[in-house]
Structure 1
Amino acid sequence: MLASTALAALAIGLPVSAQSPAPVSAAPSTPPKLIVAISMDQFSGNLFEEYRQHFTGGLARLSNGVVFPHGYQSHAATETCPGHSTILTGSRPSRTGIIANTYFDLSIARSDKAVYCAEDETQPGSSSGDYVASPNHLLVPTLGGRMKKANPATRVVSVAGKDRAAIMMGGSTADQLWYWGGKNYVGLKGVAETPLVAKVNAGVATLLAQDRPPMELPDFCAPKDVAIDIGGGKTVGTGRFARAAGDTKAFRASPEMDAATLVLAAALIEDMGLGRQAQTDIISIGLSATDYVGHTYGTEGTEMCLQVATADRELGAFFDRLDKSGVDYEVVLTADHGGHDLPERNRQHGAPDAQRVTEALAPKALSAAIGAKLGLSGQLLYGDGAAGDFYISKALTAPQRAKVKAEALAMIRAQPQVEAVFTAEQIAATPSPSGPPERWSLIQEARASYYEPRSGDFLVILKPRVTPISDPTKGYVATHGSPWDYDRRVPILFWRKGIVPFEQALGVETVDILPTLAAQIGLAVPKNEIDGRCLDIDATAGDSCAGR
């Protein structure tokens, strides 16, 4: 059977309500008492369109609200941290400062020059791989922070399967912030586990201690049941999420984790009485399993089909629980980025140009080749893979840096898998983009995620369908992070009881979410402080964005 929130809640010992249709009433004329902002990590516009006809639960409800199927994480750096930083700030990464999951600070004192986006690198012992989680790098306030500033009584809560999702949506002023820490849900450094979180963690531990049988495959998933050979005797595409007791890695890359996250979110809403006071409260929920499933198995096998189907069911149970609470809530659901399937399956589906990146484009390989040609030793280039930002060593003299840069640009541009290389100077000279995000040029997309103090000396963009993972047998098989629409386009869905449904096919941005929600609750946000614009989603109130 499909995993269910009800099953997880029973194991945790929390109240369970039976699933029922959402009640229908006239659209309220007052602000909602609770904002529920949900991110489904790696839930691309392509996945939304592919499975929309099969939704029967929470995603079906949202699909019958206000639908923007062509939402955009409009920037080039389509990774988890930058994407989440846009959802509730109204700002692109060029303003949030979150330009990648990992950037490089070559002036940092420690030997590890990589800096994790949600790390406090000033803490003793923190490194990019074993870090102290923190919101310090986020340069702008979240919606919750703005709400709390306007009314200190506002409660701001954030819960997610990833620390960077919880931190970038919850911000620095969250009253409670929890994320999956590998074995249980944890908070930031110095935050003690509350009795409620301890109870949820105990329930999750009970589930983890049991073997999980294979999930039943829905009929509409049957065509996906095809094994794809990725080499080394390994295949993907036919998985059912069977798990041995205690396997936390398999738990993370499965529908189980999202079920647990929604149970924790629902429990926090009830325990804190969110939405039951005079002010509007906000909870952000990061559902991270879709991303782990996409990386581990790709986007077009039984694994993703089961994941999306189960997320639909889980969200239905979660919304039903909120309905029965009587709280007047408004939902927005989107994604931090899209995703691309593994090239081995893409080729079978008629994309002969789908391929894996050559190892020659890795920073280490490029450093060695450039060093051999110029007679230089040591690490000359830093970067987090074959695409994205590259940084030139600061240990070099200015003339040496110029030679390394010229040689690197020449070598990279000569590679047939490379679409473009932009220098920091070129990107910085490009005006911040405006207009429909689907019409932006590559350098405009790059400008939207350029922040000079953290961005690299140059940016490498691979051609479409080139996956920046050279060997799928050593870890992930598929990924994201490109400026192409399969990674940029995401759905943006709004729902509130009594909302008048409509669908807008024109391109909008995730940065439009904050000003849209702010308008719903009468919160003034200076236009010069954000990049987004208000979307008129209330057909019963004339122009719900009037004056905003």
Structure 2
Amino acid sequence: MRLTKIVTLFTGLFVLSSAASAEHHKEGQEASPKLVVAISVDQFSSDLFSEYRSTFRHGMKRLAGGAVFPSGYQAHAATETCPGHATIMTGSHPGRAGIIANNWIDLRVARDDKTVYCAEDERVEGTSFGAITAATQGPYIASAWHLLVPTLGERLKATSPQSRNVAVAGKDRSALMMGGTDVDAVYWWKRKGFATLSDREVGPPIAALNARIADYIDQARAPYPVPDHCAARNNQIVVSDNQSVGTYDFRRPEGTARIFRGSPDFDKVTIEAAMALIDSMKLGQGEVTDVLSVGLAATDYIGHAFGTGGLEMCIQMAQLDRNLGLLFEHLDAAGMDYVAVLTADHGGHDLPERLRLQGVPDAERIDPNLNAKFVGKQVKDILKDSSDVPVLHADSPFGDYYVSLDLPAERRAEVKKIAMMMFAEHPQVEAVFDHDMLSALPMPKGPPEEWTMAERTRASFHPDRSGDFIVLLKKAVTPIASGGPGYVATHGSPWDYDRQVPILFWHKDLAHFEQPLSVRTVDIAPTLAALIGVEIPADEIDGKCLDIDGGKANSCER
């Protein structure tokens, strides 16, 4: 049963109206920033931040001059886009937020395709999961309906209705998970421009931007310049007979708009959309605080298509730095008081073919038979079941596995027991966890790097949505059986290369400091909430406020 999202109205808060603003200016207190800018760079791992930090000259350099937590964690095991974005502005682990993965199986839905996308509303008649990944991106309704907890922007609006909660991103799941359901404007990329919710019209500023994009997206693209520090990464890595990576400079021939997303251009237009919304809605220029969430997706598409260790990612890091610089320059020119935070929804791992050349001899691709279809058939053979009905369902080789509801209870228990044993015995599998065992575990606390595999899994487990059992792969196993164009490397593991992300706060009055001990992305929302006077009851979230003042004052006690 779906839980009902409740946005709690708090009493005794610093409501950001004129009257409350006067109260907020008591001695020793500072005015709240007028704009919160929360930036998520999809697949921007702590490894990437560390590798390229010395090369940053623009926006990333500014952020690295604020409060720097290089050892941030998306602490859960399901390190995918949707769960990661759900943590950033809610302060809740995916298990509390209900966003257990990008996709999961719901054998109770009425449609034939039982796979559910995290950012769709499958209750709408005629929706199809298959349409989400189709070239037409057809009949599915993008929605934050599955998000069971309020975002910071929603909490702010509950206490200060004049505040605006706005989100824009390269992916719908990024915008919706950071913005929530109560949004004043929300946009994401679809086909060749930015789209919004099905019951809204694209506003004139975004429509104008879409028109400009349409004028050039199919045109040929000149190569990006290769920074000097990227020369050492310009090495060809052969993935298969028809695929190699490591030397691409993002030049595009005419008529190849389909690969636009996998280039630095994609982040640039997302930044342009954010700036258009800032200007048209006058965000951060009123009497109350506004929230703008920005999801930059190019790093993720590039990481999947080319890996994280080659020329392509090196160019992308330089351009990400420049594009963020454009955003901050735009905000500075408007003269507003804003606080910015940058993090990532998850990290990432390079492709195994390159890792094996760089000191990771055990890096490998997944056994193509490690999946629900093959293992399910083996289970059926053991049980002498000759029917054509599948007994196991899963969206990917790892993560949540579901036993068919069409089987009698006793047979379901047999299938589950045998399947769990078969997965556990596979040499590429690290652990297999039972649904009931995870249900009995409390949500983990303490340093996330010390969490057990079961605790990491519990953080992204929801009893009504997670599988009958969950499979975790061993370290350095890439869950792509054979790499091909656009998909040679990925993420999603419980290992720190996928969990660890930077968390960077910047405000004009923040003194620079660096804290190397671990913090979590669920700590971001309560940290920002303290800066803007929004009280979040501790029992409603999993994060805690971080004191980012850097001096004797405590930013959590404003």
Q: What letter is aligned with 2:497?
A: Y
Q: Does 1:358 align with 2:367?
A: yes
- Counterpart in 1 of 2:536? 525
Q: What letter is aligned with 2:75?
A: S
Structural mapping, 1:129-278, within 5 Å:
129-130=130-131, 131-278=140-287
Q: Does 1:297 align with 2:297?
A: no
Partner SS state of residue 514, structure 1: helix
Identity of aligned residues (%): 53
Q: Does 1:402 align with 2:413?
A: yes
Q: Deviations over 1:341-393 (max 9, x none)?
A: 00000001011100001012111111122122212232111111111010001
Residue 473 (structure 1) shift:
2.4
Structural mapping, 1:16-95, within 5 Å:
29-95=30-96
Partner SS state of residue 422, structure 1: strand
Residue 28 (structure 1) shift:
9.6
Residue 125 (structure 1) shift:
1.6
Q: Which moved more, 1:210-219 or 1:282-291?
A: 210-219
Structural mapping, 1:324-363, within 5 Å:
324-363=333-372
TM-score by length of 2: 0.92
Q: Does 1:463 align with 2:488?
A: no
Residue 43 (structure 1) shift:
0.1
- Counterpart in 1 of 2:435? 424
Q: Does 1:492 align with 2:503?
A: yes
Q: What letter is aligned with 1:544?
A: S
Structural mapping, 1:279-318, within 5 Å:
279-318=288-327
Q: What letter is aligned with 1:354?
A: A
Which runs of no fewer than 5 residues in structure 2 stay unpaired? Answer: 1-27, 132-139
Taking the aligned partners of 1:129 and 1:537, their CA distance within structure 2 comes to: 44
Residue 474 (structure 1) shift:
6.3
Taking the aligned partners of 1:28 and 1:528, their CA distance within structure 2 comes to: 26
Asked whether the equivalents of residues 113 and 128 of structure 2 are also in contact (C-alpha less than 8 Å), the reply is yes
Asked whether the equivalents of residues 433 and 440 of structure 1 are also in contact (C-alpha less than 8 Å), the reply is yes
Cα RMSD over matched residues? Answer: 1.3
Q: Does 1:438 align with 2:457?
A: no
Partner SS state of residue 56, structure 1: coil
Asked whether the equivalents of residues 531 and 555 of structure 2 are also in contact (C-alpha less than 8 Å), the reply is yes
Change over 3 Å in CA distance of 1:250–1:386 after alignment to 2: same
- Counterpart in 2 of 1:8? none
Q: Does 1:323 align with 2:332?
A: yes
Partner SS state of residue 361, structure 1: coil
Q: Does 1:386 align with 2:397?
A: yes
Asked whether the equivalents of residues 241 and 250 of structure 1 are also in contact (C-alpha less than 8 Å), the reply is no
Residue 328 (structure 1) shift:
0.7
Change over 3 Å in CA distance of 1:122–1:240 after alignment to 2: same
Residue 400 (structure 1) shift:
1.2
Residue 247 (structure 1) shift:
2.1
Taking the aligned partners of 1:28 and 1:220, their CA distance within structure 2 comes to: 45
TM-score by length of 1: 0.93
Taking the aligned partners of 2:165 and 2:302, their CA distance within structure 1 comes to: 29
Taking the aligned partners of 2:262 and 2:181, their CA distance within structure 1 comes to: 28
Partner SS state of residue 162, structure 2: coil
Taking the aligned partners of 1:392 and 1:209, their CA distance within structure 2 comes to: 45
Q: Deviations over 1:497-521 (max 9, x none)?
A: 1310101011000000011001001
Partner SS state of residue 501, structure 2: strand
Taking the aligned partners of 2:458 and 2:241, their CA distance within structure 1 comes to: 40
Partner SS state of residue 174, structure 2: helix
Residue 274 (structure 1) shift:
0.6
Asked whether the equivalents of residues 332 and 494 of structure 1 are also in contact (C-alpha less than 8 Å), the reply is yes
Q: Deviations over 1:130-168 (max 9, x none)?
A: 221111000000000000000100011100000000000
Partner SS state of residue 197, structure 1: helix
Residue 541 (structure 1) shift:
6.2
- Counterpart in 2 of 1:452? 463
Asked whether the equivalents of residues 70 and 507 of structure 1 are also in contact (C-alpha less than 8 Å), the reply is yes
Residue 117 (structure 1) shift:
0.3
Taking the aligned partners of 2:171 and 2:257, their CA distance within structure 1 comes to: 14
Q: Does 1:122 align with 2:123?
A: yes
- Counterpart in 1 of 2:425? 414
Asked whether the equivalents of residues 28 and 498 of structure 1 are also in contact (C-alpha less than 8 Å), the reply is no
- Counterpart in 2 of 1:509? 520
Taking the aligned partners of 1:532 and 1:431, their CA distance within structure 2 comes to: 15
